[in-house]
Amino acid sequence: MTNEGSPGAPHLSYSNPTSGIMPRRSSYASVAAGTAGISSSSGHLPRIVNTGSYTHSTSLDQPSRIPQPISDPDTRVEGGMDIPSSWGRGGSFSSPRFPSQSYSASGSGGMLGFFEPSYLKESKYMEKLKAAHKAKLAAQADELLTRSSKPGSLSTSSSSVSLHKMAPSHRGMTYEIIERQPEVEDDGVTPLPSKWAETDKNAGLEISADGQDVKFVGPSKTLDHEAASTRSDNPMPAQCGIYYYEVSIISRGKEGMIGVGFSGASASLEKLPGWEPESWAYHGDDGKSFCAATPGKPYGPTFTSGDVIGCGVNFMKGCAFFTKNGVFQGNAFRDLRDVKVYPSVGMKRPHAHLSVNFGQRPFMFDIDRMVSRERQSIIDEINAADVSNLHPTLNKDELCKALVAQYLSHDGYVETARAFASEVRAEATALRGGSESKLEGYLSVEEDHDAMNRQQIRTAILDGDIDKAIKLTNAFYPQVLQDNHQIYFKLRCRKFIEMMRQSTDFLDNSTSKQTKSTTTNGHSTAVSDDGFEPDMDLDEPITSKDGGHHNNDDWDRMDTEEVAGGDNWGLKYQTLLEVIIRYGQELKHEFKDDRRKHVTDTFTDIFSMFSYPDPRKSPQGKLLESEQRVPLAEGLNSAILVSLGKSSSTALERVYKQTVVLVDMISEDGGPGSFINVGNLLQSSRKSWQQ
């Protein structure tokens, strides 16, 4: 068991003065741990033990050690099986730790799991974080399902291998565990600070098991500049524009030498934040603000037990402020540029005890209002923006009309495009007495057979009839699939997926049939509903030698049996699977010379569905959803447009996408884009007329 800084770390020796106050929770933990222990044959606990509603994983190597406090089972589950990362951290299993004040006080669920600070609700950052979290949950659920459906894979060796990657061994890992969703990996969203980091604290401090409370337990720091500090697990994410957290002073300890602020990862934890370079804080004993080891400046009132101190950093403006009991104290620091800082607190005397709120609960200060004011000022700025640089000749009004006109004709809304053109012309005529408009070039709607052809192809894919789509494409645009091999490949794979999809319909009908009557209606409707017609006369030659004909015969037989009212569903299901396997072999044979990674990966993905009795429950089950047809349809549509020498997407689409990327760019470091969520803009358009 390798655990960074485990044995010999100095803080192991601290005894816990408060361990006696938590028997109620530890009893639950024993039950859970006990259950877990039964299923564990060796000294290792299995990585994930699913005990009904309660899911828990640990990396304990000593079963007698009880992880605690364990939160309510509901909390745990809602928390999304969040691996208790504190357990992966060095030394955390040394002694039972004290429960946090905030936790005991609130007792509400979700404390340890995913949370959404109120002031970030509308932010793009939060949206990304949620998407990452969702993907993580999905991946973990898959993982669980995979395991439960395949008991063989729960061998000691495989679980300990996975265990290694499950234990977050350093900061920033929390959201990268078993990520299989590429979009999440690409986003690389930094998670929010969620607790004090066991691995990033002075030895004189002790952190509660949920990471929310921190207490001074060491010998009193007698030297003037000596103190003990800690930092949060994750840095403040600059992309959220303004970051804010609050600390309750449960007990100030002697003299109230407490600092609340933030510091860079390199700042020493042997002093109070503010006394070190790369650290900034507001101190309770004198009410001064300390900026990176410079002498303190008078800033606010002193603070003591019972007070709530808030700390906020405005990354856009490069300033930081504090609040006391919900009252804004003004800006303390300016010119904070390109800083990567962590929430940090420090204290100096025994019995000092702080409890943090990183946004899991409502804040005392109305930070939401500050953020929405900031957002409003950005929106005002946007509304006043000069748009003349967007187009060399068209003004804003004309540009919008051109965007609409181009969208309508590009995407084949021919009738609408005509109506729009004539209404715009009528408007221009009324205004200028019929002079030629600059817009004319955008308004003319051509008689477009291509639009109709493309529409047909798109519909075929959206209906799941891949063979028809391939046939139509080859008939209208023979070059397209030859030139776009990747699309052809995806279409062929999609056909396989559609067959798998059909087999799942079969499964559903079969199970219902077993319990109900033996009519075969269900089958035939399932087949046609799905749009996957057993199309016998494929135009394109089938490359596989043994594939094609056999394949067709099977389809025939199955069809006739259904018509004849045969009720041998088991046999038919078997037959269908055979057909799918043949098609799969054919597919594999057709692309056997293509050793590119995306091809082999795709094969692994789609064929792996076979290893599940119900492919929808496989990790790739998402592929079966009909929504997955849309990108394929759009991709083929784009390829056809490109082959016709036209642009593949509408200008409106590009305007939107460019905006998203640009706004992302200017929010990376907490710039003005942080306060803007372009996606919400689209939602507003929907709301406005769909009441």
Partner 1 sequence: MPASPIHEASRRELERIRNALAMTAARRPAMTSSTTSTATPPRHSFEQAIEDVKLSKTDLNAVIMEYLISEGYPEAAQRFALEANIEPELDVDSIQERVEIREAIASGDIQSAIEKINELNPQVLDQDSALHFSLLRLQLIELIRKATATPDGDITPALTFATTHLAPRAPTNQEFLEDLERTMALLIFPPDNLAPPLAALLDPALRQEVAQRVNQALLLSQGERTKATLYDLVNYRSWANQKAIQAKKEHLPERIELGFDPAHNGHESSQNGSSLRQAADPMVTGWGPY
Return phi, psi of residue 326, to 5°.
Answer: 85, 5
Spell out the residues 6+ positions from residue 38 whose beta carbon is closer than 8 angstroms to its own: none
**Distance between CA atoms of residues 222 and 344, nearest Å:** 21
Structure tokens at 526: 């399932």
160 binds partner 1 (CB under 8 A): no
The only residue of 70, 120, 341, 487 in contact with partner 1, by rule CB under 8 A? 487
Between 179 and 505, name the residue whose CB sits nearer to partner 1. Answer: 179
Strands 196-201 and 228-232: antiparallel
The only residue of 432, 557, 592, 596 in contact with partner 1, by rule CB under 8 A? 432
- Which of 121-129, 225-233, 301-309, 480-488 is the region at the interface with partner 1 (rule: CB under 8 A)? 480-488
Between 267 and 445, name the residue whose CB sits nearer to partner 1. Answer: 445
* Residue 569 CB, nearest approach to partner 1 (Å): 10
**Roughly what angle, to the nearest 10 degrees, separates helices 569-590 and 548-563?**
160
482 binds partner 1 (CB under 8 A): no
Between 284 and 584, name the residue whose CB sits nearer to partner 1. Answer: 584
Between 542 and 652, name the residue whose CB sits nearer to partner 1. Answer: 652
* Residue 237 CB, nearest approach to partner 1 (Å): 17
656 binds partner 1 (CB under 8 A): yes
Between 232 and 406, name the residue whose CB sits nearer to partner 1. Answer: 406
**Subset of residues 629 to 648 that bind partner 1, contact rule: CB under 8 A:** 629-632, 634-635, 638-639, 642, 646-648
Q: Is 46 exposed, middle or buried (0-12, 13-18, 19+ CB in 10 A)?
A: buried
The only residue of 430, 436, 537, 593 in contact with partner 1, by rule CB under 8 A? 430
Between 110 and 566, name the residue whose CB sits nearer to partner 1. Answer: 566
Structure tokens at 371: 């953020």
Between 105 and 452, name the residue whose CB sits nearer to partner 1. Answer: 452
Instruction: Please give the size of the binding site for partner 1, defined by CB under 8 A.
Output: 131
Secondary structure (DSSP) of 500-520:
HHHHHHHHHHHHHHHHS----
Structure tokens at 611: 């290893």
Return phi, psi of residue 626, to 5°.
Answer: -70, -25
660 binds partner 1 (CB under 8 A): yes
**Distance between CA atoms of residues 307 and 249, nearest Å:** 6
**Subset of residues 353 to 382 that bind partner 1, contact rule: CB under 8 A:** 381-382
Between 18 and 455, name the residue whose CB sits nearer to partner 1. Answer: 455
**Distance between CA atoms of residues 193 and 265, nearest Å:** 13
**Subset of residues 440 to 459 that bind partner 1, contact rule: CB under 8 A:** 441-442, 444, 446
138 binds partner 1 (CB under 8 A): no
73 binds partner 1 (CB under 8 A): no
* Residue 332 CB, nearest approach to partner 1 (Å): 25
* Residue 192 CB, nearest approach to partner 1 (Å): 20
**Distance between CA atoms of residues 660 and 677, nearest Å:** 8
**Residue 504 Cα distances to 511, 530, 615, 624, angstroms:** 11, 11, 7, 9
Return phi, psi of residue 246, to 5°.
Answer: -130, 150
- Residue 617 DSSP label: G
User: Taking Cα atoms as reference points, which of 650, 621, 629, 632 lies closest to residue 149?
Assistant: 621
The only residue of 78, 122, 535, 653 in contact with partner 1, by rule CB under 8 A? 653
Mark 112-150 as b/e (b = at least 16 C-beta within 10 Å).
bbbbbbebbebbbbbbbbeebbebbeebbebbebebeee
404 binds partner 1 (CB under 8 A): yes
* Residue 139 CB, nearest approach to partner 1 (Å): 8
Between 264 and 584, name the residue whose CB sits nearer to partner 1. Answer: 584
249 binds partner 1 (CB under 8 A): no
- Which of 46-54, 142-150, 205-213, 214-222 is the region at the interface with partner 1 (rule: CB under 8 A)? 142-150
Structure tokens at 159: 């679980």
Residue with tokens 């033990």: 49
203 binds partner 1 (CB under 8 A): no
Spell out the residues 6+ positions from residue 587 whose beta carbon is closer than 8 angstroms to its own: 492, 493, 496, 603
Q: Are 532 and 460 in contact (CB under 8 A)?
A: no
Q: Which amino acid is at 236?
A: M
Between 249 and 421, name the residue whose CB sits nearer to partner 1. Answer: 421
The only residue of 56, 136, 494, 495 in contact with partner 1, by rule CB under 8 A? 494
Structure tokens at 628: 């997955």
403 binds partner 1 (CB under 8 A): yes
**Subset of residues 603 to 622 that bind partner 1, contact rule: CB under 8 A:** 604, 607-608, 610-611, 618-619
Could you list the beta-strand ranges (E) of 15-88: 49-51, 54-56
* Residue 543 CB, nearest approach to partner 1 (Å): 21
**Subset of residues 538 to 577 that bind partner 1, contact rule: CB under 8 A:** 568, 570-571, 574-575, 577
Between 146 and 331, name the residue whose CB sits nearer to partner 1. Answer: 146
* Residue 401 CB, nearest approach to partner 1 (Å): 8
Cα-to-chain-centroid distance, residue 129: 5
- Which of 60-68, 231-239, 263-271, 403-411 is the region at the interface with partner 1 (rule: CB under 8 A)? 403-411
* Residue 639 CB, nearest approach to partner 1 (Å): 5
Structure tokens at 652: 């409106």
The only residue of 21, 419, 452, 536 in contact with partner 1, by rule CB under 8 A? 419
- Which of 4-12, 200-208, 265-273, 599-607 is the region at the interface with partner 1 (rule: CB under 8 A)? 599-607
**Subset of residues 504 to 533 that bind partner 1, contact rule: CB under 8 A:** none
Q: Are 515 and 522 in contact (CB under 8 A)?
A: no
Q: Within 10 A of 396 (CB to CB), how many other CB atoms are there? A: 12
Residue with tokens 């042997």: 270
- Which of 52-60, 286-294, 324-332, 478-486 is the region at the interface with partner 1 (rule: CB under 8 A)? 478-486
**At 283, is the secondary structure helix, strand, or coil?**
strand
Between 258 and 451, name the residue whose CB sits nearer to partner 1. Answer: 451
31 binds partner 1 (CB under 8 A): no
Beta-bridge partner residues of 323 = 310, 328
484 binds partner 1 (CB under 8 A): yes
688 binds partner 1 (CB under 8 A): yes
Between 485 and 516, name the residue whose CB sits nearer to partner 1. Answer: 485
Between 369 and 485, name the residue whose CB sits nearer to partner 1. Answer: 485
- Residue 59 DSSP label: -
* Residue 409 CB, nearest approach to partner 1 (Å): 8
Q: Are 229 and 202 in contact (CB under 8 A)?
A: yes
Between 294 and 376, name the residue whose CB sits nearer to partner 1. Answer: 376
157 binds partner 1 (CB under 8 A): no
Between 539 and 556, name the residue whose CB sits nearer to partner 1. Answer: 556
* Residue 59 CB, nearest approach to partner 1 (Å): 17
- Residue 11 DSSP label: G
The CA angle 677-679-680, to the nearest 5 degrees, is: 70
Structure tokens at 655: 């305007």
Instruction: Compute and round to an integer the Cα radius of gyration of the chain.
Output: 31
The only residue of 161, 452, 538, 563 in contact with partner 1, by rule CB under 8 A? 161
254 binds partner 1 (CB under 8 A): no
**Distance between CA atoms of residues 640 and 480, nearest Å:** 6
